[in-house]
């Protein structure tokens, strides 16, 4: 039997579905109603202009709705951390003056997630809310040296020749 | 074309090209690299394969200053693994399972193992496949990890059993036990002889 929580859509997908449900009800026979209105409207030239005006207006609405749906689907995982777990990343790097966490959860942005030095012994740390999933990541020391996480498994697809680790965040129900 | 008909097609006409764009790629990749990656994303979308792992792969390459051909090559390689996973796991395979399957294939699991697991287990294989990949990452051989996961799936074990096995094997490896021995030892402690049970 499938765990219901496993088949539930992600929050972003649910938001997109809700957005699409908010579309105005067009009802059946829309095409017939539109054509009837066009027949009743002025001379042919006007009819064309009005027809294309209607197309432009509703196409604009469609464009706006498409943009909104795409934007909502692409919200970064850090937002709306429903079902997310707080994951602590730590690294011992005595010599480093700056350490950042870079990975699938922050679009591999080398500056977005800095670690804080916790002690003079060179312990660095940051805690992130992560939803269930598998994430590849690396630490970046002083903006130039990539380092894997010794506490977590190595990524098996080091396509770019630098040390990379993997973290699997489990569903809390498991 | 009849304006009313065009009106009905408008969402489709606009949604296609817009969906093909990803501002992250345009902002961070060189135009020609972004164009090549976009083509691969279109190909993935056309095959109903997940695109986000491909985007992340491209961004990883950019972040690590990889040359453009290497970025495109890595994205293409991952797309191929996703396609192979779909072939092995079937058209109904959900996105997380496909991604886990692609990772397992890249870890060295044979496609036939994925197909066999699919036949053995009607429900999602995301957790067993992720555990297989993690075991290989910890140093267990791909063949041994594949056999272990196949045995567990055949015995009807639940996702939590796979996760427990992974945790125990990792603990043993940290204390100095050889990866293969740790797996054998922990496998023998599982309720494998028990009749298949529900998750």
pLDDT tens readout for residues B147-180: 999 999 999 999 999 999 999 999 999 999 999 9
User: Could you give the CA distance from residue A124 to residue A98 in angstroms, rounded to a whole number?
Assistant: 9
Strand partners, A126: A89
Task: List the 75-104 stretch of A: residues with Cβ below 8 A of B.
Answer: 102, 104
Helix axes B68-89, B31-46, angle to 10 degrees: 10
Task: List the 10-49 stretch of A: residues with Cβ below 8 A of B.
Answer: 30-31, 34-35, 38, 48
ipTM above 0.85, yes or no: no
C-beta atoms of B57 and A159 within 8 A = yes
C-beta atoms of A52 and B3 within 8 A = yes
Nearest chain B residue to A168, by CA:
B130
What band does B30 get if pLDDT is binned at 50, 70 and 90? very high
What is the dihedral angle through the alpha carbons of A119, A124, A128, A133, rounded to the nearest 10 degrees? -140
The pLDDT, as a whole number, for residue B85 is 98
Q: What is the mean pLDDT of residues A146-174?
A: 85
Mean pLDDT is lowest, of A99-113, B17-31, B76-90, B158-172, for B17-31
Residue for token pair 């105005």: A24
pLDDT digits (tens, 9 = 90+) for A19-33: 555 444 444 444 455
Residue for token pair 């480093």: A96
What band does A171 get if pLDDT is binned at 50, 70 and 90? low
C-beta atoms of A1 and B3 within 8 A = no
| Least CB–CB distance from B74: residue in A30, A133, A159 | A159
User: Could you give the CA distance from residue B77 to residue A125 in angstroms, rounded to a whole number?
Assistant: 33
Nearest chain B residue to A172, by CA:
B160
C-beta atoms of B106 and A153 within 8 A = no
Nearest chain B residue to A70, by CA:
B19
What is the dihedral angle through the alpha carbons of B38, B39, B41, B43, rounded to the nearest 10 degrees? 170
Q: A67: which chain B residues are within 8 Å (Cβ-Cβ)?
A: 18
Residue to mutate among B11, B28, B73, B139, with most A CBs inside 10 A, is: B11
Phi, psi of A100 (to 5 degrees): -125, 155
Residue for token pair 């294309």: A52
B166: left (phi over 0), alpha (psi -120 to 50) or beta: alpha
What band does B109 get if pLDDT is binned at 50, 70 and 90? very high
Query: Is A160 an 8 Å CB contact of chain B?
Result: yes
| Least CB–CB distance from A59: residue in B7, B53, B123 | B7
User: Could you give the CA distance from residue A60 to residue B35 in angstroms, rounded to a whole number?
Assistant: 27
B118's tokens: 């699919």
Q: Which residue has the higher pLDDT, B34 or A172?
A: B34
Q: Residues A113, A117, A123, A126: is their CA dihedral positive or negative? A: negative
Q: What is the mean pLDDT of residues B43-62?
A: 96
Nearest chain A residue to B68, by CA:
A160
Answer whether B129's CB lies under 8 Å from B106's CB: no
Q: What is the mean pLDDT of residues B3-18?
A: 50
What band does B146 get if pLDDT is binned at 50, 70 and 90? very high
Answer whether A160's CB lies under 8 Å from A108's CB: no
Q: Collapse the DSSP code of A108 into the 3-class scheme (helix H, G, I; strand E, B; otherwise coil) and give the result.
A: coil
Q: Which helix (H) or strand (E) holds B50?
A: none
C-beta atoms of A134 and B77 within 8 A = no
Average pLDDT, chain A: 72
User: Could you give the CA distance from residue A122 to residue A114 in angstroms, rounded to a whole number?
Assistant: 14
Number of CB pairs < 8 Å for A and B? 118
Q: Which residue has the higher pLDDT, B5 or A160?
A: A160
Answer whether B158's CB lies under 8 Å from B197's CB: yes
Answer whether A147's CB lies under 8 Å from A91's CB: yes
Query: Is A141 an 8 Å CB contact of chain B?
Result: no
Query: Is A144 an 8 Å CB contact of chain B?
Result: no
User: Could you give the CA distance from residue B148 to residue B164 in angstroms, rounded to a whole number?
Assistant: 13
Contacts of B36 (CB under 8 A, 6+ apart): B68, B72
Q: Domains of chain A, with CATH numbers?
A: 4-73 (no CATH), 85-169 (2.60.40.10)
Residue for token pair 């027949």: A39
C-beta atoms of B60 and A136 within 8 A = yes
Q: Give A69 to chain B, closest Cα distance, Å.
A: 10
Q: Quick one: A1 exposed, middle or buried, by C-beta within 10 A (0-12, 13-18, 19+)? A: exposed
């Amino acid at each position: 039997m499938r765990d219901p929580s496993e088949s539930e859509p992600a929050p972003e997908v649910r938001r997109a579905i809700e957005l699409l449900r908010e579309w105005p009800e067009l009802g059946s026979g829309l095409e017939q109603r539109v054509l009837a209105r066009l027949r009743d409207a002025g001379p042919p030239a006007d009819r064309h202009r009005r027809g294309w005006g209607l197309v432009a207006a509703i196409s604009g609405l469609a464009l706006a709705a498409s943009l909104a749906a795409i934007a909502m689907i692409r919200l970064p995982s850090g937002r709306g951390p429903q079902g997310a777990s707080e994951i602590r990343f730590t690294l011992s790097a005595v010599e480093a003056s700056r350490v950042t966490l870079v990975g699938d959860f922050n679009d591999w942005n080398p500056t977005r997630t800095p670690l804080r030095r916790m002690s003079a012994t060179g312990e660095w740390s940051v805690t992130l809310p992560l939803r269930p999933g598998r994430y590849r990541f690396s630490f970046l020391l002083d903006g130039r040296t990539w380092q894997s996480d010794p506490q977590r498994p190595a990524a098996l697809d080091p396509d770019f020749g630098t040390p990379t680790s993997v973290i699997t965040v489990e569903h809390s129900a498991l | 074309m009849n304006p009313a008909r065009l009106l009905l097609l408008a969402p489709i006409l606009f949604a296609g090209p817009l969906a093909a764009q990803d501002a992250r790629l345009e902002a961070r990749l060189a135009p020609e690299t972004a164009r090549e990656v976009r083509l691969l994303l279109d190909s993935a979308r056309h095959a109903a394969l997940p695109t986000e792992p491909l985007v992340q792969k491209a961004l990883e390459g950019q972040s690590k200053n990889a040359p453009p051909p290497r970025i495109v090559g890595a994205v293409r390689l991952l797309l191929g693994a996703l396609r192979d996973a779909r072939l092995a796991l079937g058209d109904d395979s959900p996105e997380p399972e496909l991604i886990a399957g692609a990772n397992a294939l890249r870890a060295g699991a044979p496609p036939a193992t994925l197909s066999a697991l699919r036949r053995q287990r009607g429900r999602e294989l995301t957790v067993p496949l992720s555990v297989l990949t993690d075991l290989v990452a910890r140093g267990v051989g791909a063949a041994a990890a594949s056999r272990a996961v196949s045995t567990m799936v055949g015995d009807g074990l639940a996702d939590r059993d796979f996760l427990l096995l992974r945790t125990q094997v990792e603990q043993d490896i940290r204390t100095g036990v050889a990866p293969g021995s740790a797996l054998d030892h922990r496998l023998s402690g599982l309720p494998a002889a028990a009749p298949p049970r529900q998750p």
